[in-house]
Structure formats: structure tokens, C-alpha cells
Amino acid sequence: MQRGTFQLMKSVNKSNILNKIRKSEPISRAQIAKETELTPPTVSSIVKELLEQGIVRESDLGDSKGGRKPTMLLINSDAFYVIGVDAGPEKVECILTDLSGKVFERTSSKLRKPITNDQFITILKENINKILQSSTTDKEKVIGIGVAMHGVVDVETGTSLIAPNLDLSDIPIKAELEEAFNVIIKVENDARAMALGESWFGGHGDLESMVAVNIGRGVGSGVVINGKLYHGAQDIAGEIGHMTIDMNGAICECGNRGCLQTFASGEAVAKRARHQVDDEIESGTLTGQRVHELAQNGNESYIHILQETGQAIGVGLTNLIHLINPSEIVLGGGVMKGEKFILPAIKQTIDQQALTQEAKQTSVTVTKLGDDATLLGAVSLLLVELFDPV
């Protein structure tokens, strides 16, 4: 879909009618009017345009309450498609989905350092082109591309300001992809994208506030309030990985001491295991994934290390609860594959340290989206533009 057509659809979607249909489908025009407090003629006029655009469809008749059976409305999920990109730090992954998040195509490429900005952009373009070429989907139905990028992102310009794990900076992702593909491009920090994806596809209902925390090679989070990402005054909201939880702790890559990331990232878990576990065979080859495998095999030393990790995460999440008081916290990332040992320790720590009884009961869960959480987050960047443009 060309950029101008997308802008036209956004003007049609000026009200919350489309989002009401998405959240409550199947729903009648009368129900929409009642729940949105818009007049029936206004609802009918806008629904007519949405039907003409193809994004809404009519279903079988609903139940009658004494009069004529109402025609129900649903989102036409295959009306349009979105490309989602998870960019780095170790590989670039792409998916093509419909409006419901159903995945139709996948592709990926490994990233090898050293790498330049131009080489990185080339890999992004190659994967997106591969998706477009391999799909039988009408290319005109692709409404845009969402990119979830690790590190610090300038959301307005779509620029990757700092990509620390690739040793890159000032990558003009949005500008380059807009020129190449002539569709809407949205670029966001990967943890924040994951948070938005959780709010759309995670099955959490209509929460007032939610925080998603991605714990893997680094530790980041995203805050969603009333369905919208919160960025903060200087665009660094959600950097929970650099919350200090031990003033005398190890030096973090950011230069500060005792950041949560120095306790909870995959490398931090492996490093602590190398120091604590007297196992000459494993000492030189331990990774976070290997620690998890050994714990799964019943090795008490490695189980204890994962439990320690859970305690540290629990301290960070307790601080988060006291600061934001979210309705729910969702955890994802490679480290949380050790959920069996880590999650109970997290919950126990929160129970011990949270300020009030209600705060102790904050829902803390592990994502059900699995390894696709960030990719679906990238997709949701475009869905927000389509369904909630105001």
C-alpha cells in the first residue's frame, strides 16, 4: 500500500469505532453507538467507509432482542498485511502477518561483527525483499514495516542512535527503508516494541497499564499505559536494566555499578556460574543457556544460580511496582526460559519487599508469545497507526 492511501485510512479512522470493533467483535452498529456514545448516523457513515476500505466485514446476523436481527461487524484480518522486523543484536528476523498477527512468511540472517551502518541496512533490505518475493500476498496490501531495534532509538526520525552490541550509531533506518519500499516505517526500541506486542497479542485483556521486561543479552522494558507506549521526556523510559540495585556491585557496560543487568542478563548468569561453580569441565564453556540446561538436569548448584537471578529480578520488579504500579508485568527473553526456577524466586522476593498487600499481588507472568514476542511487537507498531491514529 502506498503511503498516501494509508494516510487516507487514518483520516477515516479518526474516531475509536475501528478499535471498538477490534476489541469487541462481533459487534453491531447499535452496540458501537451505545458504547462509544456516538450517534447511530455517525456510526453508520463511518462503518460504511470502513466496509468500502475493506478493513471491516459483515458477518451472520446477531441475536434479536425483539426487532430485526442486527448485522454484526468484524475486522477483516486479511485485508492488509504488515512486515515486522527484529533487528539484532545477533541476527535480523522478519515476518509477514495479517492484522490478527497470523504469520505467513519468515526469514532471517545472522549478523557478524564488525559491521558497518551500510552493511546493516543492506541486510534489513535483503530480508524484507525476500519476504515480499516469497509471499503470494498482494504487495499493495502491505501497509507498512515495523522495526524493533536494540539500543537507543529516536522514534520520531526512526534513527538508531546507539546500537551497543553492534558497535554502531546513527543508523537512518526509517529514511533508508522508506526510500526503498515507499510504505510507512516505524522504528522502536525492541523492549518497548515487545511491550506493545504483548498488549495487542498477549491475551491480557484491556489493561490500564502493563510493563513488559525483556531479559536476554541485556535487560530492557516497555511501559504501556491505556494502550500507548510511554517514552518519557528524553525517550529512555523503560531502561530497567540500568536501575541500580547494588551500589557496590559489578561495573555495568553503561559505566555504573550494580545495575540490574549485571545480575540478570544471560552473560551475567553465565559469569556468576563460572565464579561460583567448581566444575572444571564446564567453567570455560558456560553460557546462560548451558546454565539453564544443567539446572533442568537437576544440578542443584545451577538451580541455585537461577534462583539468585530470580531474586535480583524480583528486587528490580519491586522497585518498578513501587514506581509505576502496573496492572501486570510480563517477562520475556532467553533468560526466562529458566522460568521454572526463576519465576518462583521473583514472586517470593516481591512478596517479601512490596510495600502493600495489593502490591504484593501484582500479576507477574511469562509471555505466551515465545520467541515471536519482539517480532509481533514490531508488527503492532503499525497496527497502532492503523487502529488508533489519534
Span 94-113, pLDDT tens digits: 999 999 999 999 999 999 99
How would you label 358-382 residue by residue, b for 16+ Cβ within 10 Å and e otherwise? Answer: eeeebebebbebeebbbbbbbbbbb
**150 has pLDDT over 70:** yes
Q: Which of residues 371 and 103 earns the better pLDDT score?
A: 103
Q: Report pLDDT for 13.
A: 41
CB 327, CB 199: distance < 8 Å: no
**339 has pLDDT over 60:** yes
86 bridge partner residues: 93, 148
**223 has pLDDT over 50:** yes
* DSSP codes joined into one string, 292-339: HHHHHTT-HHHHHHHHHHHHHHHHHHHHHHHHH--SEEEEESGGGGGH
pLDDT in tens, 169-186: 999 999 999 999 999 999
- Of 3.30.420.40, 3.30.470.20, 3.40.50.2300, 3.80.10.10, which CATH number belongs to 204-367? 3.30.420.40
Q: Which of residues 157 and 23 earns the better pLDDT score?
A: 157
**152 has pLDDT over 50:** yes
Q: Domains of the chain: which residue ranges?
A: 3-76, 80-197+374-387, 204-367
3-class state of residue 363 by DSSP: strand
CB 193, CB 146: distance < 8 Å: yes
- Of 2.60.40.60, 3.30.420.40, 2.30.40.10, 3.90.1300.10, which CATH number belongs to 80-197+374-387? 3.30.420.40
pLDDT in tens, 36-52: 888 899 889 889 989 99
User: For 264, phi and psi rounded to 5 degrees?
Assistant: -110, -20
Distance CA 313, CA 261 (A): 9
Pairing of strands 56-61, 159-163: unpaired
Q: Report pLDDT for 12.
A: 43
Q: Which of residues 325 and 68 earns the better pLDDT score?
A: 325
Using only C-alpha atoms, what is the Rg of the chain?
A: 23
Element (H, E) at 188: strand 184-189
Distance CA 195, CA 204 (A): 12
Judge whether 3-76 and 204-367 match in fold. Answer: no
**Residue 2's pLDDT band (cuts 50, 70, 90):** low
Mean pLDDT computed over 131-154: 91
In the chain, % helix, strand, coil (3-state, to 5) comes to 50, 25, 30
Q: Report pLDDT for 138.
A: 85
Distance CA 252, CA 146 (A): 30
For the structural domain made of 3-76, what CATH number should be given? 1.10.10.10
**302 has pLDDT over 60:** yes
Q: Which of residues 309 and 8 earns the better pLDDT score?
A: 309
**9 has pLDDT over 70:** no
3-class state of residue 213 by DSSP: strand
User: For 85, phi and psi rounded to 5 degrees?
Assistant: -125, 125
Distance CA 38, CA 42 (A): 7
Q: Report pLDDT for 385.
A: 80
Task: Provide the mean pLDDT of the chain.
Answer: 89
Q: Report pLDDT for 1.
A: 53
